[in-house]
Structure 1
Amino acid sequence: MEKLLEGIVNFRRGDFESHRELFKGLKASQKPHTLFISCSDSRIDPNMITGTLPGELFIIRNIANIVPPYRMTTEYVATTSAIEYAVLALGVENIIICGHSNCGGCAACLHPEGKLEELPHTRKWLELIHPVRDRVLKEIPESEPEARAWMMEQGNVVEQLKHLITFPYIAEKMREGKLKISGWHYIIETGEVFIYDRDKGEFLLGNG
């Protein structure tokens, strides 16, 4: 906790002072250009990866960067409501699904079911990517764990892109050319970002 409190003081004296005008402009409203959906993993920093400042990204984070398929419901749905707000209230122009290497959520799906017995809510949440898991287990032999992990992580990103299009207002805005969606696979140990190419059906290194 002391480290966090010290960080608050350092932020106020350093970064805040150097961006004082930016924060002053953000006081009354926000106008982010991109909805960035990523994993809750502590090793992922959306602003650092994209080189963006406060106010540019509207960020949703959850285990394994999952987007539940659209449905009308009276339940409390955090991810769905945040997507709705970003697209309909804030008018973001882009949506990025960003998966990453060594994803614990994706790895947990590849383990025997008993591994998550003590994490019932996590187990239930990860049911949303069981279709991806089933394809991976069918296509990649157990003797190739790294290939399984890679395919699970990238396949999960593609699956969530498909889920996004089930949101009627997202599909509509895409048809009108008002919204773009993209899938990324961030490699923690190298800093590389692979971007999904729909035409080629594969992830290509984003080297600008």
Structure 2
Amino acid sequence: MDYLKAGLIKFRTQDYEEHKNLFCRLKRHQEPHTLFITCSDSRVVPQLITKSLPGELFVVRNIANIIPKYQESHECDSRTSATTSAIEYAVKILKVKSIIICGHSNCGGCSAIHLPDEVLDEIPATKKWLELSENVKTRVLDEMKATGKTKDLDYREWLTEQMNIVEQIKHLLTYPYIVEQLNRKEIEIIGMYYTIETGEVFIYDSHKGSFELAN
């Protein structure tokens, strides 16, 4: 706690003072330009990666940056409502112009997709959540079999993390109000893969079907 307290004091006396006018402007409202959906992993810091200021990103975090498929409000359950309501609020109320789905290297959530049931049974809430990306596991295993890399765990990790981002983009496209805005070119969807150990960020190119280094 002493470490965190020292950080609070440093923020108030240094960082806040540097951006005091900005915080005053943000007192009553926010106008973020981007909905940033990413993993809960402590190593992923959206504002740091994108060099964004307070008020620019509306951040949604969960294990493995999963986006539940669209459901009518009366069908939503507690497992999905926190993420789906945040997406709804960002798009419909805050009128964000971009949605970023950001996965990352060495993702524990993506790795957990491949854990045996006896291990996942020890974390039942997480197991239930990861079922939302069950299709990713199937696609990854099929791809590994097709390429003859069934025993390459590093390849499985990398493939799962990137395929998961693409799968979440597909999930996002089940939201009617997002598709409507896409068709009117009022919003864009961006898939992003962050490599922790190198600081590199790769952007998904839907035409090429691959992630390209941002430069």
Q: Settle same-fold status: TM greater than 0.5.
A: yes
Which residue of 1 is the match for residue 5 of structure 2? 5
- Tell me the alpha carbon deviations over residues 150-177 of structure 1, each in whole angstroms, 9 at most, x when there is no partner: 1100000000000111111000000000
Deviation of 1:116 after TM superposition, in Å, equals: 1.4
Once the two structures are TM-superposed, the CA of residue 73 in structure 1 deviates from its matched residue by: 3.5
**TM-score where L is the length of structure 1:** 0.97
Say how many residue pairs are matched: 207
Report whether the alignment pairs 1:91 with 2:95. yes
Task: Find the counterpart in structure 2 of residue 68 from structure 1.
Answer: 68
TM-score norm. by structure 2 comes to 0.94
Return the letter of the residue paired with 2:166.
V
- TM-aligned CA deviation for residue 122 of structure 1: 0.3
* Residue segments in structure 2 that go unaligned for 5+ positions in a row: none
Root-mean-square deviation (CA, aligned residues, Å) is: 0.9
Q: Does 1:178 align with 2:178?
A: no
1:118 lines up with 2:122 in the alignment:
yes
Distance 2:126 2:150 in 1: 24
Paired residue secondary structure (2:9): helix
**Structure 1 position 200 matched with structure 2 position 208:** yes
Indicate yes or no: 2:30 matched with 1:26.
Answer: no
1:108·1:115 contact (CA, 8 Å) conserved in 2?
Answer: no
**Poorly superposed stretches of 4+, deviation over 6 Å:** none
Residue 45 of structure 2 corresponds to: 45
Match of 2:171 in 1: 163
**Match for 1:119: what amino acid?**
I
2:158 to 150, 157, 161: 150
In 2, distance between residues paired with 1:99 and 1:177?
24
Tell me the alpha carbon deviations over residues 76-100 of structure 1, each in whole angstroms, 9 at most, x when there is no partner: 4100000000000000000000000
Deviation at 1:115, TM superposition (A): 1.7
Unaligned runs of 5+ in 1: none
Per-residue deviation, 1:139: 2.0
Percent identical pairs in the alignment equals 56
Q: Distance in 2 between matches of 1:195 and 1:114?
A: 36
